Protein backbone atom coordinates (compact mmCIF):
# COMPACT_ATOMS: atom_id res chain seq x y z
CA UNK A 1 0.00 0.00 0.00
CA UNK A 2 1.35 3.39 -0.97
CA UNK A 3 1.48 6.35 1.37
CA UNK A 4 -1.06 8.31 -0.72
CA UNK A 5 -3.59 5.47 -0.48
CA UNK A 6 -3.04 5.16 3.28
CA UNK A 7 -3.56 8.90 3.83
CA UNK A 8 -6.71 8.92 1.69
CA UNK A 9 -8.11 5.97 3.63
CA UNK A 10 -7.43 7.67 6.97
CA UNK A 11 -8.98 10.95 5.83
CA UNK A 12 -12.21 9.18 4.84
CA UNK A 13 -12.88 7.78 8.31
CA UNK A 14 -14.62 10.78 9.92
CA UNK A 15 -16.63 11.43 6.77
CA UNK A 16 -17.76 7.84 6.48
CA UNK A 17 -20.21 8.38 9.35
CA UNK A 18 -21.55 11.59 7.85
CA UNK A 19 -24.31 9.83 5.91
CA UNK A 20 -27.99 10.60 5.85
CA UNK A 21 -28.89 7.29 7.46
CA UNK A 22 -26.35 7.70 10.28
CA UNK A 23 -27.57 11.20 11.10
CA UNK A 24 -31.21 10.13 10.88
CA UNK A 25 -30.56 7.27 13.30
CA UNK A 26 -28.64 9.59 15.64
CA UNK A 27 -31.70 11.84 15.77
CA UNK A 28 -33.91 8.83 16.47
CA UNK A 29 -36.10 9.41 13.40
CA UNK A 30 -37.61 6.91 11.04
CA UNK A 31 -37.65 7.52 7.29
CA UNK A 32 -41.34 8.35 7.41
CA UNK A 33 -40.93 10.90 10.21
CA UNK A 34 -37.96 12.55 8.50
CA UNK A 35 -39.99 12.68 5.29
CA UNK A 36 -42.87 14.40 7.13
CA UNK A 37 -40.48 16.93 8.67
CA UNK A 38 -38.85 17.73 5.33
CA UNK A 39 -42.19 17.50 3.47
CA UNK A 40 -41.00 14.91 0.98
CA UNK A 41 -42.01 11.35 0.15
CA UNK A 42 -40.45 8.56 2.28
CA UNK A 43 -39.13 6.93 -0.88
CA UNK A 44 -37.15 10.12 -1.54
CA UNK A 45 -35.46 9.76 1.83
CA UNK A 46 -34.66 6.13 1.00
CA UNK A 47 -33.13 7.09 -2.36
CA UNK A 48 -31.07 9.84 -0.74
CA UNK A 49 -29.76 7.39 1.84
CA UNK A 50 -28.34 5.30 -1.00
CA UNK A 51 -26.36 8.24 -2.34
CA UNK A 52 -22.93 8.69 -0.93
CA UNK A 53 -21.72 11.32 -0.15
CA UNK A 54 -24.78 13.15 1.08
CA UNK A 55 -25.78 16.23 -0.93
CA UNK A 56 -25.27 19.60 0.72
CA UNK A 57 -28.99 20.43 0.64
CA UNK A 58 -29.80 17.38 2.75
CA UNK A 59 -26.80 18.07 4.99
CA UNK A 60 -28.03 21.60 5.76
CA UNK A 61 -31.58 20.37 6.32
CA UNK A 62 -30.34 17.81 8.85
CA UNK A 63 -28.16 20.40 10.56
CA UNK A 64 -31.29 22.53 11.07
CA UNK A 65 -33.20 19.58 12.49
CA UNK A 66 -30.29 18.75 14.81
CA UNK A 67 -30.14 22.34 16.02
CA UNK A 68 -33.88 22.28 16.75
CA UNK A 69 -33.54 18.94 18.56
CA UNK A 70 -30.77 20.31 20.81
CA UNK A 71 -32.62 23.55 21.61
CA UNK A 72 -33.37 23.59 25.34
CA UNK A 73 -36.61 25.55 24.95
CA UNK A 74 -37.99 23.02 22.45
CA UNK A 75 -37.03 20.14 24.73
CA UNK A 76 -38.83 21.84 27.61
CA UNK A 77 -41.93 22.30 25.41
CA UNK A 78 -41.97 18.57 24.61
CA UNK A 79 -41.56 17.65 28.30
CA UNK A 80 -44.41 19.99 29.29
CA UNK A 81 -46.66 18.54 26.61
CA UNK A 82 -45.96 14.99 27.76
CA UNK A 83 -46.62 15.98 31.38
CA UNK A 84 -49.91 17.63 30.37
CA UNK A 85 -50.97 14.46 28.55
CA UNK A 86 -50.20 12.34 31.61
CA UNK A 87 -52.15 14.73 33.90
CA UNK A 88 -55.09 14.82 31.51
CA UNK A 89 -55.08 11.03 31.29
CA UNK A 90 -55.01 10.74 35.09
CA UNK A 91 -57.90 13.20 35.47
CA UNK A 92 -60.15 12.30 32.58
CA UNK A 93 -58.78 9.35 30.67
CA UNK A 94 -58.30 5.65 30.72
CA UNK A 95 -55.94 5.60 33.72
CA UNK A 96 -58.63 7.05 35.99
CA UNK A 97 -61.20 4.55 34.76
CA UNK A 98 -58.70 1.71 35.18
CA UNK A 99 -58.02 2.78 38.77
CA UNK A 100 -61.76 2.88 39.48
CA UNK A 101 -62.17 -0.69 38.23
CA UNK A 102 -63.65 -0.06 34.80
CA UNK A 103 -60.97 -2.09 33.00
CA UNK A 104 -62.93 -2.84 29.82
CA UNK A 105 -63.86 0.81 29.28
CA UNK A 106 -60.25 1.85 29.94
CA UNK A 107 -58.93 -0.64 27.37
CA UNK A 108 -61.55 0.47 24.84
CA UNK A 109 -60.51 4.11 25.29
CA UNK A 110 -56.83 3.19 24.92
CA UNK A 111 -57.57 1.25 21.73
CA UNK A 112 -59.58 4.16 20.34
CA UNK A 113 -56.70 6.53 21.13
CA UNK A 114 -54.24 4.26 19.32
CA UNK A 115 -56.63 3.94 16.37
CA UNK A 116 -57.02 7.71 16.14
CA UNK A 117 -53.25 8.17 16.13
CA UNK A 118 -52.93 5.98 13.02
CA UNK A 119 -53.01 7.82 9.68
CA UNK A 120 -56.45 7.81 8.13
CA UNK A 121 -56.87 5.78 4.95
CA UNK A 122 -58.88 7.23 2.12
CA UNK A 123 -62.28 5.64 1.88
CA UNK A 124 -63.16 4.39 -1.54
CA UNK A 125 -66.17 2.57 -2.84
CA UNK A 126 -65.29 -1.01 -3.66
CA UNK A 127 -67.72 -1.41 -6.54
CA UNK A 128 -67.18 1.95 -8.14
CA UNK A 129 -66.72 1.80 -11.91
CA UNK A 130 -65.26 4.57 -13.96
CA UNK A 131 -67.33 5.71 -16.93
CA UNK A 132 -66.32 4.40 -20.33
CA UNK A 133 -64.28 6.81 -22.45
CA UNK A 134 -66.22 8.69 -25.10
CA UNK A 135 -64.40 6.99 -27.98
CA UNK A 136 -65.38 3.44 -26.88
CA UNK A 137 -68.88 2.19 -27.70
CA UNK A 138 -71.09 1.02 -24.88
CA UNK A 139 -71.20 -2.77 -24.89
CA UNK A 140 -74.46 -4.63 -24.64
CA UNK A 141 -75.03 -6.39 -21.34
CA UNK A 142 -77.26 -9.17 -22.70
CA UNK A 143 -76.23 -12.17 -24.77
CA UNK A 144 -77.11 -11.92 -28.45
CA UNK A 145 -78.91 -14.81 -30.12
CA UNK A 146 -77.55 -16.55 -33.23
CA UNK A 147 -80.11 -14.89 -35.46
CA UNK A 148 -79.16 -11.42 -34.15
CA UNK A 149 -75.47 -12.17 -34.72
CA UNK A 150 -76.17 -13.35 -38.31
CA UNK A 151 -78.22 -10.21 -38.99
CA UNK A 152 -75.41 -7.99 -37.67
CA UNK A 153 -72.83 -9.81 -39.84
CA UNK A 154 -75.04 -9.41 -42.93
CA UNK A 155 -75.44 -5.68 -42.27
CA UNK A 156 -71.67 -5.28 -41.87
CA UNK A 157 -71.03 -7.20 -45.10
CA UNK A 158 -73.60 -5.07 -46.94
CA UNK A 159 -71.93 -1.89 -45.69
CA UNK A 160 -68.54 -3.18 -46.74
CA UNK A 161 -69.78 -4.16 -50.17
CA UNK A 162 -71.47 -0.78 -50.58
CA UNK A 163 -68.23 1.01 -49.71
CA UNK A 164 -66.25 -0.88 -52.40
CA UNK A 165 -68.56 0.11 -55.22
CA UNK A 166 -68.32 3.82 -54.40
CA UNK A 167 -65.21 5.68 -55.63
Assess contact for 45 and 31: CB atoms under 8 A: yes
Give the pLDDT score at 72.
92
| Maximum average pLDDT range among 14-28, 30-44, 77-91, 105-119 | 30-44
Neighbours of 102 (CB within 10 A): 14
Q: How is the chain split into domains, by residue range?
A: 1-70, 72-117
Assess contact for 65 and 71: CB atoms under 8 A: no
In which band, very low, low, confident or very high, does the pLDDT at 150 lie, cut at 50, 70 and 90? Answer: confident
Count Cα neighbours of 27 within 13 Å in the Cβ-side half-sphere.
Answer: 23
The candidate with the shortest Cα–Cα distance to 19, out of 51, 43, 42, is: 51
Tens-digit pLDDT profile for residues 75-96: 899 889 888 888 887 787 888 8
Tens-digit pLDDT profile for residues 91-147: 878 888 888 888 888 888 888 888 877 776 665 555 556 555 555 555 555 667 888
Amino acid sequence: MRVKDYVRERLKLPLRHNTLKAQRVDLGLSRAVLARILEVDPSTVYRQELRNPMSMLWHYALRGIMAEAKDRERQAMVRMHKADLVRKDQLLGASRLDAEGFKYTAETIKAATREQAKPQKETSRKHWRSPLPAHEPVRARRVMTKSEIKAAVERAEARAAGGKNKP
